[in-house]
Structure 1
């Protein structure tokens, strides 16, 4: 079973338009509302693939009630809060261009944060195989919240996968104890202070972060695939070219695919890329099911040439 923590979940509203033009009245071709937040996406993707998953998240107000309904039969622990669960908007165009309007979300009190961490600890005591902590932090949460999550996970012997950005990612990466970091290239660049442009430079940057006491990194590269960097091994994989309908949730699906499968890092990376490729071919925050995911057309290699340029992969 895989446990997820989403401190700042959302209701995600997707609007499909022919062309996004500022200042114009636009006709919306399709709309949908789905449960959102990175950890929620991971749990939903896993559940859809038949993998046991359980989500821990705070909910509040009318947005929280809507989110709870949209979660459907996803196993979960919801922590009531005074604030209003946020609503996000994604506007997608036919070529896959996605414009996201993400609300800041509610402010959590120190008591609500303690209650959320206690709910997580109660679930960690049930011995999940992984805990995934992901997404932005709500106002009121300290930048080191994920450091505290890592300490809790370590105390129960549960490996932690972390997918976040900015100060929370920096704090957790510096503190160590994260079994799997999942930055994209921009987030990795923020961690090391420069943008790596080759496979070798990405590997070096990732290992600089791993040297703080972290286990491995799954680095998503958008249309250029993904790299797995361990302390000794490196693997690269890329999916087939597909029509991109929405990039929202693709990284979450890649992480879910990696965690859902066993095998070598390269085999798990192939699954991650297959799940991410399936996700971008679907509208809005629609998550792929088993019938959408295939490793056919996925290219992968161990020990890729360090001179390969990322933009040429």
Structure 2
């Protein structure tokens, strides 16, 4: 059985609903309200379990919203390891406007984390029994820039493959020590990391290859939305077109991509196949409304339709 552990330092209690049209000042009545546990690593775990793997979530949570997050994880039957904090877990809100078919997403910074709490989380992660350790999401205030690098080094020392999906200082700090098995930046995150415009596909590929050449990551999967994605490794660059689907929500598309890629790697699939399965995961997430994330049957269907080979 495939086992992963995920790390979510800045989780969120996700709320989504729909309105006919957005207005300022006036009260708007919404419907199709959904609640779900959210945050990068938690989302990865939800999709990984749907695909048939085992996942344990390590996360920081506090306050009334933290308790709601705990209950939501239990409802999804996700194995969890919570480190209790003093602050309130943030709420993430997504609103879908039916007239324009546009989605509006509101996310706050989240609470500041005391040193004792992030160290407690680090110690718990160091004992995780898994094949892959997936750190996904932003670093909250109070957590040092090198937190992801610290747990990556500990994972590598235990023969665990480390996967990183973050932004800003979390991405830069996580890559600093090297030895990352897979990193999945969006093209916007890659631009911020490099400080370059990266306007052409060739420039994007070169920036991804540079991360590999520096020994910071073995595989770099860059997602580019409607422009598809690029996978860079020591063997070269693989390009995949975006899978055309009717968009219902973009929530969790990147997390679903990571979960599908890790699942395929864990099943022994080649990098090109794992990347194709990841792209199918991201597209499948776009099909589902609100906070629903990718469904296993959609991931496998899209993979088989676009590759012509049986899904893992």
TM-score by length of 1: 0.90
2:80 corresponds to 1:76: yes
Following the alignment from structure 1 to structure 2, what is the Cα–Cα distance between the partners of residues 284 and 133? 23
2:107 corresponds to 1:105: no
Spell out the pairing of 1:214-253 with structure 2 (5 A cutoff): 214-253=217-256
Following the alignment from structure 2 to structure 1, what is the Cα–Cα distance between the partners of residues 240 and 25? 41
Across the aligned residues of Structure 1 and Structure 2, the Cα RMSD in angstroms comes to 1.7
Spell out the pairing of 1:1-313 with structure 2 (5 A cutoff): 1-72=3-74, 73-94=77-98, 96-123=101-128, 126=129, 128-213=130-215, 214-261=217-264, 262-293=268-299, 294=301, 295-298=303-306
Following the alignment from structure 1 to structure 2, what is the Cα–Cα distance between the partners of residues 64 and 158? 29
Following the alignment from structure 1 to structure 2, what is the Cα–Cα distance between the partners of residues 240 and 230? 22
User: The residue matched to 1:179 in structure 2 has which SS?
Assistant: strand
CA offset at residue 296 of structure 1? 4.1
* Number of aligned residue pairs: 297
User: The residue matched to 1:71 in structure 2 has which SS?
Assistant: helix
Q: Deviations over 1:114-169 (max 9, x none)?
A: 1000110111xx2x111100101122111221111212212212111101101221
8 A Cα contact 2:153 2:177, kept in partner: no
CA offset at residue 208 of structure 1? 1.7
Following the alignment from structure 1 to structure 2, what is the Cα–Cα distance between the partners of residues 186 and 64? 30
Following the alignment from structure 2 to structure 1, what is the Cα–Cα distance between the partners of residues 187 and 181? 19
Following the alignment from structure 2 to structure 1, what is the Cα–Cα distance between the partners of residues 197 and 273? 27
Following the alignment from structure 2 to structure 1, what is the Cα–Cα distance between the partners of residues 46 and 229? 22
> Which region of structure 1 is more displaced relative to structure 2, 79-88 or 6-15?
79-88
TM-score by length of 2: 0.90
CA offset at residue 266 of structure 1? 1.4
CA offset at residue 275 of structure 1? 1.2
Following the alignment from structure 1 to structure 2, what is the Cα–Cα distance between the partners of residues 223 and 17? 25
Following the alignment from structure 1 to structure 2, what is the Cα–Cα distance between the partners of residues 153 and 12? 29
CA offset at residue 237 of structure 1? 2.0
5+ residue gaps, structure 2: none
Aligned residue number for residue 307 of structure 1? none
Following the alignment from structure 2 to structure 1, what is the Cα–Cα distance between the partners of residues 288 and 83? 31
